[in-house]
A and B are shown apart, each in its own frame.
Chain A
Amino acid sequence: KAGVTQTPRYLIKTRGQQVTLSCSPISGHRSVSWYQQTPGQGLQFLFEYFSETQRNKGNFPGRFSGRQFSNSRSEMNVSTLELGDSALYLCASSLDVTLASPLHFGNGTRLTVT
């Protein structure tokens, strides 16, 4: 069974631009969560989607948004990029939202903002 696939693996953007990251969950998984990983702040929860609905959102500005499609694939968008948005963005999928089903992480998208 294929794992969580995140595309692209690397991105370089300029301040002020916007970016869209994609995540394809493991087949059959309906929950997708997004995390930001930086050396300074560590791993921080961005948001979680289940059945196309956002269930939880972390403490990030409105420039960060996401969505989930009917096939459970998810995208996150960051508008008006800032230098501090440079990070590894990790997507995780699971069967449901009970945490009894473990989170399976992708290898991430490395975003560099210049």
Chain B
Amino acid sequence: AQSVTQPDIHITVSEGASLELRCNYSYGATPYLFWYVQSPGQGLQLLLKYFSGDTLVQGIKGFEAEFKRSQSSFNLRKPSVHWSDAAEYFCAVGQTGANNLFFGTGTRLTVIP
């Protein structure tokens, strides 16, 4: 069965500091992996996705993520956080041929000035 674990419920970082949000997945085949961001009262916005190829993927808003098959991880990173990055971040896994994603429970990011 597919599942996604985001071990950090809440992370607080200072503006300008680096950020890493953890994501571990369980999936029998090569997964399709995604990171989404949700601001309060809003829907989900896709930050980046991994299907195959280069294990380091670049996304919008300066985010990147690295797929590590040996660790079943797909951690999200940003070198310098901005106050506007405060939001909830969701990691998700899916399979080709179906638009049903399995989401992690999310990590809420607080950015302090």
Interface residues of A (CB under 8 A from B): 4, 31, 33, 35, 42-45, 48, 50, 55-56, 58, 90, 92, 94, 97-100, 102-108
A45 adjacent to B102 (CB under 8 Å): yes
CA distance A14 to B101 in the complex (A): 30
CA distance A99 to B44 in the complex (A): 15
Top 4 nearest A-B pairs by Cβ distance? A105-B43, A43-B103, A45-B100, A105-B44
With A90-B44, A99-B99, A105-B44 already in contact, 6 other A-B pairs whose C-beta atoms are closer than 8 Å: A48-B98, A56-B98, A103-B46, A103-B99, A103-B101, A107-B41
CA distance A50 to B42 in the complex (A): 24
Question: CB-CB < 8 A to A94: which residues of B?
Answer: 99
A99 adjacent to B94 (CB under 8 Å): yes
Question: CB-CB < 8 A to B44: which residues of A?
Answer: 90, 92, 103, 105
Question: CB-CB < 8 A to B113: which residues of A?
Answer: none
CA distance A98 to B94 in the complex (A): 10
Question: CB-CB < 8 A to A44: which residues of B?
Answer: 103
A-B interface pairs (CB < 8 A), number: 65
Question: CB-CB < 8 A to A35: which residues of B?
Answer: 103
Shortest Cβ gap from B25 to chain A (Å): 14
Question: CB-CB < 8 A to A106: which residues of B?
Answer: 43
Question: CB-CB < 8 A to B95: which residues of A?
Answer: 99
* A33 CB contact (under 8 Å) in B41, B90, B96, B100: B100
